[in-house]
Structures are given as C-alpha cells and as structure tokens.
Amino acid sequence: MATTSYIDKSRRKLWLAAIKPPMYSVAIIPITMGTAVAFAETNRFHQEIFFAFLGAAILIIAWLNLSNDVFDSETGIDKNKAESVVNLTGNKTLVFWISNLLLGLGILGIISIAWLQQDWMVLGIVLLCCALGYSYQGPPFRLGYQGLGEIICFVTFGPLTIAAAYYSQAKTFSLMGLAASAIIGLSTSIILFCSHFHQVEDDLAAGKRSPIVRMGTARGSQVLAWLTASLFVFTVLFVLLRVFPVSTLLIFGSLPLANRLVRHVQQHHDNPEIVRTCKFLAVNLHFVSGILLALGFVLPRLL
C-alpha cells in the first residue's frame, strides 16, 4: 500500500511538472502589462476584453507547451524527460490533437474580441505570434534547435503580445508600451535561457544548439547576470528619459528574486540536478517584476 501511494504521488508530481502551472504567467504578464500601459495613457479599461484576451492567451500557451512536447518527442530530445506529456500518456497523436483543439479555442477567443471591436488588427498580431511559436520547435523550422529560441521568445512575448493587448484596449500603439515590452520580453527570454542549463547533454545528443550549449554553462551564468540586471537598468533609463513614470521603480521590489536567481545559477551552473530549479526562480522573477512594473503604470491613475 505504501509503495502504491508513493508511486501515485510521484506520478501526480510528474503531471504537475508536465502541465507547468507557473509557466502560464508567460500569458498573464504581457496581457496585464499591455492593458496597464493602455490604462495609464488613456484612463480606459475594458474588462471584458481583458479577460477574454487573458483566457485566449492561456489556451494558446497550453497549445504551445503540448505541441512542443510532441515535436520534441520526434527528435528524441525528451527521451529522458519523465515529465513530458507524451511520455506520461504514451500517446503522441492524442496530445497533438488536444493541443490543436486548445489553439483553436484560443484563436476563437481572439476572433470574439476582433468581432466585438470590428477591428482585426489584434487577430493578425496574435496569428503572427502563433506562427513564431510554431517555428520554435515545429518542423521543418525548429529554430529553437539553432539557438534562436530566446529571440523568438523576446519578440513574441514582448513587443508583439504587449502591442496586441494595448491595441485591444486603446485601438492604437504606444512608445511607452514598446519600452515596457522590451523589459517583459527580456524577463520572458530569461526563463527560456535558464531552462537550458540542466539539459546540455540531451541537447547535444539531439543536435540542439541552445545558447548554453554554444557558450557553456559558466559563461552562460555570466550572461544571465547581465540579462537580469538589464531589467532594472532599462527601467531606470526609461524613467530618466520620462518614458516611464517614477512609480515604475516599484520593479526594484523584485531585486531579491533577481539576486537569488543569479547566485543560484552562478553557484550550480555545472550541476544539472541542482541548477534545473533555476527556471522556476526565473518564472518567479518574471511574474513579480511584471506585476510590480504594471502597478507602477496604474498607480498614478488611481492615486
């Protein structure tokens, strides 16, 4: 009985890791940021559009996670990944079609926004995001295998998604939104960057030339420190240039999380079993820094 209970708990943990609940902040933060900046500049907030966009974004991220599991199973890169949904179910075809269903539902959510507004700009931007997301792991592109994943991540979850969220609220685009998107794009790319540290051997075996494979874990830990520091440097710069309100310096409340992430990777970059948790530290930094930055835009309107 004890053995069975242990196996059940272990399997539940694997499913939780496979579903990746923390990763859905990648959907939540850009939509929240684009909406917050739009509110800061227009004093308008369309909550039905915000929640429709948020739900659609979560569905699209679910598609991205599941479809990436399917595509990775085809290259063998996930053969040692117990928390892969394909490995857990043993049914690649089922996972593939569930992922497509989620994508379809997410796109329907965006279509509902476009129909409500009689403006198809947001749909066009989101479709471009989906195309870039597919190119990351999907055949014949598999651009992530060429080390281009972080660039795709930056563009998709930074400028494009925040522009779409802003446009859905304000029907225009914004310099302030573009500046904010650079910070969110960077913090999102940091998550992907951190996910490579513990899987260098598997990446090499599958022919994936991730940034960490190319530069090594020691140099990668140094690059991570610079990338993380840039979140705060850019915020200060945009405040000094009067692009951001002074209240966006609230982002410095996430500095302890940034310090913890950088120290963890610098100390354990060459130990896959320990360093693998750095991607969760990066998710925490992304979420908290994003929320604090968004608050920095909203508070001047509320006070």
- Residue range 25-58, pLDDT digits in tens: 899 999 999 999 999 999 999 999 999 999 999 9
Residue 8 has pLDDT above 60, yes or no: no
> For position 84, what pLDDT does the model report?
65
268 vs 276: CA distance, rounded Å: 9
pTM of the complete model: 0.90
Looking at every residue in the chain, the average pLDDT score rounds to 89
The residues, ordered by sequence, that sit 6+ positions from 32 with a Cβ below 8 Å of its Cβ are 54, 165, 290, 291, 294
Instruction: Kindly state the average pLDDT of the residues 249-257.
Output: 97
- Residue range 82-106, pLDDT digits in tens: 556 776 666 788 888 999 999 999 9
- Residue range 258-268, pLDDT digits in tens: 999 999 999 99
> For position 208, what pLDDT does the model report?
83
188 vs 155: CA distance, rounded Å: 10
Instruction: Kindly state the average pLDDT of the residues 143-170.
Output: 95
Per-residue buried b or exposed e for 168-200, using 16+ beta carbons within 10 Å of the residue's own CB: bbbeeebebbbbbbbbbbbbbbbbbbbbbbbbb
Structure tokens at 152: 């795709």
Instruction: Kindly state the average pLDDT of the residues 56-84.
Output: 79
